[in-house]
Structure 1
């Protein structure tokens, strides 16, 4: 019985890792922002609540929060919702835009490593309110896909997407 459970967990982990490392039917974040200048990322379309910079920074902040929650029991999340959005409305320069992208990539890879190294992705964390690594992985995938869709919409409306 235990061997079949281990096999099932290994299969689920494999499928999660596939979603984290291949975009499948979705455009991944890095394809969605590829080729955008920092100036474009900071432009805000009239009647839109966010620009691409704000959405990308929100993804960075949220993904980091989930990662830290999973690996650090004493981590304290930012205030909701203000702590999950950037304070500024656009990047200051191309370096800041690149640093955001690099940090997302770094935290993404760290989360992949958590999935790879965790023996039981369904075990509830000793801290929190019943969350598991599996649940938090789904949260990242779902959250990022939602906002990538918004980024693509902004790009299409601005004529920046093929």
Structure 2
């Protein structure tokens, strides 16, 4: 798990991976909007989706990072995009950018911050980021394991 790519998610898209369509929302860069980002996941996937809990958690982390660590949190906005297919879910969060690239920095056990991207790295199947035109897009993808027909679970 946790393959990182400093590339657009389209560069990681598997051949023949048909997306069911995107839900996209542009949100003000305020802490109250993290719950709206989670609501977008609910609207896109529904609570019964097998990847729902992980997608909500990771989306919360990216939305929070956009507000705390970029110009989005200083009166700007950020965009959340959720795309799903039969086999995977991809979320992109585009923010107002910052002076530094996203970092999977290791923190001390006592630190109350700095665990967002390590969590993305640990739980996602693929993730990455792009920086262009002053904005940063951080994305992750989770794949749904398929159980063969006739196998008891």
Structure-2-length-normalised TM-score: 0.34
Structure number with larger C-alpha Rg: 1
Q: Give the structure with the larger strand fraction.
A: 2
Structure-1-length-normalised TM-score: 0.33
